[in-house]
């Protein structure tokens, strides 16, 4: 199975800017990417990173500067075009780089599920990972991509399976998502947050994250410039 | 397996008040409860509702006015005390009433998993459902209950398993959670939202819900009084 992990090298994870500086977001995004690559390897596959720019990582990297949809759709087309001389039933998978909770067992459930197209939906209508065994399946990640992707699969006559995984549904985009990393994560992603001083905190019955060692008045980017 | 579904009959789902009136929240909370009861039955079990007040529902109801922890812990103790004359290995499960995405397959994974205590974690550090086969396991739902419950299990020597399910991890508490019901839900919960006019909407790359037929200036409670 060919497995691609798209990764934006420039200004990743901007929605975490209220609590992480630009430099910290770069470090954290790369930590999540490395955790995803490790989990895919532990599930028995060798992933390739599809990056928007050059990247230093112990993995095969293909640079494609185009937006996500164009880069992924080109890769999907290329997979099955090359497949003319290879086994036509070999699958291709796309796994997002911010699935900090991904574990080998969760990924194995995705990779081994039947279906021309197998989705791991993300929270908020997203598509966090999928496997395609159909040469005509293409992506459109804008908006409720999970519903759109189901429509695309139906329009090409592909049968669909869905993997019900909290770990694969949890992409880390916003400050509250860090709660999930500190509760359920491991590896580099969690270490980066712990070393940055993040802790779980309960307020008004809801669990959030806090950085007790930081002065709350200073924005993270200001702090970075002074440090 | 004894399966209990705790349900607060008074003022449920207050965090949905920005988009649902008090009367609507009552209807929606009961719709979710009925969907959970149906899913448990379709998984082959007959649940009992542990309600804080009287409730009209086609299911066995036990009224316990105490807070959640006290009511559930009393039920857990009662289960294993009765067990002195029954098979001691019979399990008891607690399933939250707001798991609007729960399906029979997701619940079967929970009910059939090994482990003295089996957790289905919820988003934000919660515990959305669990099975206990250990007479000494007790709950503490405040804060990061998932981590606390793991500690409690460890303190009594219970071995733990965890079910990785997006459907069971999704409790419906806040307006953004309605996105999940409209994307992945079925049954009464989804119907109630659709009949109330909710639709999915994409704004700034994020998916949210909207009620196009409502005047946005009026709060839901005001609307209710005028209607």
ipTM for the predicted complex: 0.92
Which chain B residues have a beta carbon less than 8 Å from that of A200?
125, 144, 147
Contact A165 B165 (CB under 8 A): yes
Check whether residue A148 and residue A181 sit in a common domain. Answer: no
Q: Is B185 helix (H, G, I), strand (E, B) or coil?
A: coil
Output the average pLDDT for chain A.
92
Check whether residue A23 and residue A85 sit in a common domain. Answer: yes
Q: Does A180 touch chain B (CB under 8 A)?
A: yes
For residue B137, the model assigns a pLDDT of: 98
Give the distance from residue A167's alpha carbon to the nearest chain B alpha carbon, in angstroms: 7
Contact B166 A124 (CB under 8 A): no
Check whether residue A9 and residue A59 sit in a common domain. Answer: yes
From the list A126, A165, A207, the residue facing B143 with the nearest CB is: A207
DSSP B65: -
Distance CA(A151)–CA(A157), nearest Å, equals: 10
End residue of a domain, out of A145, A169, A193: A169
From the list B143, B164, B179, the residue facing A166 with the nearest CB is: B164
Check whether residue B26 and residue B113 sit in a common domain. Answer: yes
Residue A155: phi and psi, rounded to 5, are: -70, -20
Contact A142 B202 (CB under 8 A): yes
Check whether residue B152 and residue B196 sit in a common domain. Answer: no
For residue A219, the model assigns a pLDDT of: 47
Instruction: State what percent of residues in chain A have pLDDT above 90.
Output: 85
pLDDT for B168-220, tens place per residue?
Answer: 999 999 999 999 999 999 999 999 999 999 999 998 778 999 998 775 444 45
From the list B124, B147, B206, the residue facing A206 with the nearest CB is: B124
Check whether residue A143 and residue A185 sit in a common domain. Answer: no
Provide the residue range defining the domain that includes B189. 177-226
Check whether residue B196 and residue B164 sit in a common domain. Answer: no
CB environment A123-156: b (16+ within 10 A), e (fewer): bbbbbbbbbbbbbebbbbbebbbbbbbbebbeee
Contact A164 B124 (CB under 8 A): no
Could you tell me where the beta strands, DSSP code E, fall in chain B? Answer: 2-7, 47-51, 60-63, 92-95, 117-122, 126-132, 160-162, 199-203, 206-210
From the list B142, B166, B202, the residue facing A144 with the nearest CB is: B202
What's the number of domains chain A is made of?
2
Q: Which residue of A has its CA nearest to B105?
A: A164
Residues 6+ apart with CB under 8 A from A120: A110, A127, A128, A129, A130, A162, A163, A165, A168, A169
Which chain A residues have a beta carbon less than 8 Å from that of B125?
179, 183, 200, 207
Q: What is the largest CA-CA distance in chain B?
A: 61
More confident position, B219 or A7: A7
Q: Does B102 touch chain A (CB under 8 A)?
A: no
Map tokens 């029954």 to a residue. Answer: B86
Check whether residue A32 and residue A87 sit in a common domain. Answer: yes
Q: Does B86 touch chain A (CB under 8 A)?
A: no
Check whether residue B192 and residue B145 sit in a common domain. Answer: no
pLDDT for A205-225, tens place per residue?
Answer: 789 999 987 754 444 544 444
CB environment A30-49: b (16+ within 10 A), e (fewer): bbbbbbbbbbbbebebebbb
Check whether residue A129 and residue A183 sit in a common domain. Answer: no
Contact A121 B169 (CB under 8 A): no
End residue of a domain, out of A169, A188, A205: A169
Residues A142-166: what's their mean pLDDT? 97
Contact A207 B166 (CB under 8 A): no
pLDDT for B32-74, tens place per residue?
Answer: 999 999 999 999 999 999 999 999 999 999 999 999 999 999 9
Check whether residue A164 and residue A197 sit in a common domain. Answer: no
Size of interface A-B (CB pairs under 8 A): 78
Check whether residue B143 and residue B206 sit in a common domain. Answer: no
| Strand A206-210 with A47-51, pairing | unpaired
End residue of a domain, out of A149, A169, A189: A169
Q: Which residue of B has its CA nearest to A184?
A: B125
Q: What is the CATH number of the domain that holds B147?
A: 3.90.550.10
């Amino acid at each position: 199975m060919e497995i691609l992990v798209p990764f934006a090298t420039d200004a990743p994870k901007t929605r975490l800017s209220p609590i992480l500086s630009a430099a910290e977001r770069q470090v954290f995004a790369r930590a999540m990417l490395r955790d995803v690559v490790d989990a895919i390897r532990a599930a028995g596959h060798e992933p390739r990173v599809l990056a928007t720019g050059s990247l230093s990582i112990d993995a095969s990297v293909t640079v494609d500067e185009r937006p996500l949809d164009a880069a992924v759709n080109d890769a999907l087309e290329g997979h099955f075009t090359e497949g003319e001389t290879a086994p036509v039933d070999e699958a291709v998978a796309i796994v997002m780089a911010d699935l900090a909770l991904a574990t080998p067992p969760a990924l194995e459930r995705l990779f081994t599920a039947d279906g021309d197209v197998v989705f791991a939906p993300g929270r908020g209508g997203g598509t966090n990972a999928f496997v395609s065994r159909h040469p005509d399946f293409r992506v459109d990640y804008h908006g409720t991509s999970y519903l759109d992707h189901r429509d695309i699969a139906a329009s090409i006559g592909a049968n669909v399976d869905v993997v019900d995984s909290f770990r694969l549904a949890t992409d880390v985009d916003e400050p509250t998502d860090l709660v999930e990393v500190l509760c359920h994560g491991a590896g580099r992603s969690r270490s980066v947050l712990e070393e940055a001083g993040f802790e779980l905190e309960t307020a008004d019955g809801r669990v959030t994250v806090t950085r007790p060692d930081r002065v709350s008045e200073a924005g993270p980017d200001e702090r970075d410039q002074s440090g």
